[in-house]
Structure 1
Amino acid sequence: MIELEGLTKRYGEKVAVNNLSFAVRPGMVTGFLGPNGAGKSTTMRMILGLDRPTAGDVRIDGTHYDRLKDPLTYIGALLDAKAVHGGRSAFNHLLCLAQSNGIPRARVHEVLDTVGLTPVARKKAKGFSLGMGQRLGIAGALLGDPRILMFDEPVNGLDPEGIHWIRTLMKSLAAQGRTVFVSSHLMSEMALTADHLVVIGQGRLLADTSMADFIQRNSRAYVRVRTPQPEQLSDVLAAAGITVVRTGDGAFEVDGGKAEHIGELAARHQVVLHELSPQQASLEEAFMRLTAESVEYHAHSGSGATGGDAPAARSWGEGWKGEG
């Protein structure tokens, strides 16, 4: 378990993390969400002792990270897949980590096989594509067979097969009773992976709840109805005290009504329906609604001309075959 209590981090006058308190529990995948600049990476760095809190406390299974003996056997983390000595092979990179944490050499072969890098184990990491670097970072996190795993943007650079693989891996780790804490900007992927959500904005806790409750509390649910008899249906629903809103494509959106009840009313009055579908907002829509006031960096549509602040295009070299 990871426990944060009043965790705060200031850089001069800038408050990056503001009095965060929450727990990441075993047996589930906990998603860590927030807009850019919300303080997610700083929080993860403080969990691992890479940044010192200005105030508050964070513990891993009741102990500070710097007091853990052989920490990779307690918590494995992927924060930056590029944090690898490029001149070392994948095998030697993992072997160095293993030897510094009392982990048997055989375990290096096991995790290389788990992440699919055995065929390139002796290749230097500097030649790896982004996706292969991610796999190597995940192998490092798994190396000590820890009870707690923490991933920051683990699907970056992965192809569809790789994304499916890491999603399945995280779910299986949680099913084994491990603690899995994952940060990602890919809402569609988080919706498929996470059981619980911790959401922060401008360093403050905004939500600490289950995925289902988060979407329900921060989104609009309605029933979409389409019929060739719009006037009759509108009259029937109005008589039942149900308010409808017409959409641009000729359908109705009904708030506060159940699809079953609407269908029964239509059938009773012989109104033909071509569509009757309950609609629930996506995780992305719920997230955008909750964090609207916490977004620090706003993009604005313009004429498309590049000005002094526009980033230059950058090309990336080819790596080894695999995700790039």
Structure 2
Amino acid sequence: MIELEGLTKHYGDVRAVDHLTFTVRPGIVTGFLGPNGAGKSTTMRMMLDLDNPSGGTVRIDGRHYRELRDPLRVVGALLDAKAMHGGRSAYNHLLCLAQSNGIPRARVREVLDTVGLTSVAGKRTKGFSLGMGQRLGIAGALLGDPRILMFDEPVNGLDPEGIHWIRNLMKSLATQGRTVFVSSHLMSEMALTADHLVVIGQGKLLADTSMAGFIKENSRSYVRMRSPEQERLREVLRGAGIDVTPGEEGALEVEGEDAAHLGELAARHRITLHELSPQSASLEEAFMRLTAGSVEYHAHENHRPPESPAESPSEPGAGWGTDWRKKGS
């Protein structure tokens, strides 16, 4: 279990992390979300005592990370897939980690096999692709068979098979009763992986809730109805005290009602339905809605590339497709 209480980090006048308090519990996959610059990486670095907090505390199973006698046996972390000596082989990279933490040599072969790198165990890591580096970083996190695992963008660079594998791995680890904490910008993947979400923006806690609860609380859910007798359907719904909103393609949208109840109501009045479908937002839509006021940089798509050299902007990078502007500027 990971416990944060009032965790704060200042960089000069900038408050990167602002009094974060939440608990990452065992037995589930906890997703860690936030826009770029929200403070996610800084928070994870403070969890591992790589950065000192300006205030507050982080405890891992009741202790600070620096107090752990054999840290890799308690916490396995992947924060940077490139954090390895390029001149060492994959095997020797893991062997160094194992020997520094009193982990048996045999465990190195086990984790290399787990992540699918046995065939390249003797190759130097400087020749590894991004995906291979990710797999090696995950192997390092698993090396000590830890109770707690932390992953920052674990699917970065992985192919579809690799993404499917790491998703199932994280779920399996949580099922075993371990604490799994994962940060990612891939909303579609997080929706398939995480059971619980912690969302931050501008260093502040925005949400600490279940996946289903997060989507429900930050999105609009409704039932979409279409019928060849649309006007009669509208009258029947309104006669039952149900508010109706016009939707796309002539459909009707009803909030706060169960689809089965609406279907039964239409059937009692012998109204044919061509569509009766519950609609709810995706994780991405819910996330965008919640964090809209916390995004530090906004992209504007109303700028086109210059059509001729004469129209080229005088400043490097200006006027090309996407205009990055800091919020409020």
Cα drift, residue 56 of structure 1: 0.6
Q: Which of 297, 309, 314 lines up with 2:317 in the alignment?
A: 309
The match for 1:287 is: 287
Note the 1:78-227 alignment, pairs <5 A.
78-227=78-227
The match for 2:323 is: none
The match for 1:19 is: 19
1:298 and 2:298 matched? yes
The match for 2:326 is: none
Q: Deviations over 1:169-222 (max 9, x none)?
A: 000100111000000111111111111111111000111111111111111110
More divergent stretch after superposition (281-290 vs 39-48): 281-290
Cα drift, residue 70 of structure 1: 1.9
SS of the residue corresponding to residue 299 of structure 1 reads strand
SS of the residue corresponding to residue 38 of structure 1 reads coil
Measure, in 1, the Cα distance between the counterparts of 2:66 and 2:258.
Answer: 54
The match for 1:317 is: none
With over 3 angstroms needed to count, the CA separation of the structure-2 counterparts of 1:104 and 1:311, relative to structure 1, is farther
The match for 1:256 is: 256
Measure, in 2, the Cα distance between the counterparts of 1:68 and 1:296.
Answer: 36
SS of the residue corresponding to residue 80 of structure 2 reads coil
Q: Report if the CA contact (8 A) 2:225-2:274 is conserved.
A: yes
Measure, in 1, the Cα distance between the counterparts of 2:191 and 2:219.
Answer: 14
Matched residue pairs, number?
Answer: 312
Measure, in 2, the Cα distance between the counterparts of 1:166 and 1:81.
Answer: 14
Q: Deviations over 1:108-156 (max 9, x none)?
A: 0000000000001111111111111100000000001000000000011
SS of the residue corresponding to residue 278 of structure 2 reads strand
The match for 2:310 is: none
Measure, in 2, the Cα distance between the counterparts of 1:44 and 1:157.
Answer: 21
TM-score by length of structure 2 reads 0.92
Cα drift, residue 16 of structure 1: 0.2
Cα drift, residue 262 of structure 1: 1.2
SS of the residue corresponding to residue 151 of structure 1 reads strand
Measure, in 2, the Cα distance between the counterparts of 1:126 and 1:120.
Answer: 12
Q: Report if the CA contact (8 A) 2:45-2:51 is conserved.
A: yes
Unaligned ranges ≥5, structure 1: 313-324
SS of the residue corresponding to residue 10 of structure 2 reads strand
Cα drift, residue 303 of structure 1: 2.8
Measure, in 1, the Cα distance between the counterparts of 2:302 and 2:108.
Answer: 50
Q: In structure 2, give the amino acid aligned to 1:136.
A: L
Q: In structure 2, give the amino acid aligned to 1:262.
A: L
Q: Deviations over 1:218-277 (max 9, x none)?
A: 111100111111111111111112122222322111112221121112111121101101
Which gives a bigger RCO, structure 1 or 2 (Cα 8 Å, sep 6+)?
A: 1
Measure, in 2, the Cα distance between the counterparts of 1:253 and 1:84.
Answer: 54
Identity, in percent, stands at 77
The match for 1:319 is: none
TM-score by length of structure 1 reads 0.94
With over 3 angstroms needed to count, the CA separation of the structure-2 counterparts of 1:293 and 1:274, relative to structure 1, is same
Measure, in 2, the Cα distance between the counterparts of 1:89 and 1:106.
Answer: 16
Q: Deviations over 1:42-85 (max 9, x none)?
A: 00000001100001111111111111112111100000101111
Q: In structure 1, give the amino acid aligned to 2:276.
A: L
Q: In structure 1, give the amino acid aligned to 2:278.
A: P
Q: In structure 2, give the amino acid aligned to 1:20.
A: L
Q: Report if the CA contact (8 A) 2:303-2:319 is conserved.
A: no
Q: In structure 1, give the amino acid aligned to 2:269.
A: H
CA RMSD of aligned residues (A): 1.4
The match for 2:324 is: none
Q: In structure 2, give the amino acid aligned to 1:253.
A: E
The match for 2:37 is: 37
Cα drift, residue 311 of structure 1: 11
Cα drift, residue 93 of structure 1: 0.7
Q: Report if the CA contact (8 A) 2:226-2:274 is conserved.
A: yes
Unaligned ranges ≥5, structure 2: 307-312, 321-329
1:267 and 2:275 matched? no
The match for 1:76 is: 76
SS of the residue corresponding to residue 301 of structure 2 reads coil
Cα drift, residue 310 of structure 1: 6.2
Measure, in 1, the Cα distance between the counterparts of 2:290 and 2:254.
Answer: 23
Measure, in 1, the Cα distance between the counterparts of 2:30 and 2:112.
Answer: 25
SS of the residue corresponding to residue 281 of structure 1 reads coil
